[in-house]
């Protein structure tokens, strides 16, 4: 658990979570299938309230605004999200989601024979999750791109 995390830009005292691009057995990807490198600009998705919300190809942190009570509920939500352009066989996505009072920063591994423009579920992916940290008292919608940085 991370206590007293300040969401928002550094100019207003916001904290930063450094995410290593080499922290997973699969490569970190944005939603169009491009691998994330340490020089990649952080791009948060819109704060999604439904699986049909539109993702932009450069989104590399999926933000879910809908309160979900369990990791399994988050995986069900992510399973219905439509990827944008690329066919991804195996990838790891970064998801910021909450339970109504705290935000969970989670790696979601998707393994399968993915296809462009499909949901992970319809692409035949198997999903698993590893939560990196819990931001106590922070809602996902309060996060901004400046709260994250990609490093090697």
84-130 pLDDT per residue, tens: 655 666 778 899 999 999 999 999 888 765 555 556 666 567 888 99
Cβ atoms of 88 and 33 closer than 8 Å: yes
Cβ atoms of 101 and 142 closer than 8 Å: no
Task: Please tell me the distance from the alpha carbon of residue 115 to that of residue 138, in angstroms, as a whole number.
Answer: 34
Query: Across residues 58-67, what is the average pLDDT?
Result: 90
Task: Please tell me the distance from the alpha carbon of residue 96 to that of residue 62, in angstroms, as a whole number.
Answer: 6
Helix, coil or strand: residue 79? helix
Cβ atoms of 115 and 123 closer than 8 Å: yes
């Amino acid at each position: 658990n991370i206590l007293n995390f300040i969401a928002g830009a550094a100019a207003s005292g916001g904290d930063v979570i450094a995410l290593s691009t080499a922290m997973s057995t699969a490569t970190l990807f944005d939603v169009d299938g491009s691998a994330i490198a340490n020089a990649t600009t952080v791009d948060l998705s819109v704060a999604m309230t439904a699986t049909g919300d539109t993702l932009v190809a450069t989104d590399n942190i999926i933000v879910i605004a809908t309160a979900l009570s369990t990791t399994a509920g988050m995986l069900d939500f992510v399973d219905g999200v439509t990827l944008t352009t690329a066919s991804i066989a195996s990838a790891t996505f970064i998801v910021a989601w909450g339970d109504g009072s705290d935000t969970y920063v989670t790696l979601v591994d998707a393994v399968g024979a993915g296809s462009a423009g499909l949901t992970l579920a319809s692409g035949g992916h198997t999903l698993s999750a590893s939560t990196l940290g819990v931001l106590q008292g922070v809602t996902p919608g309060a996060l901004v791109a400046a709260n994250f940085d990609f490093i090697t």
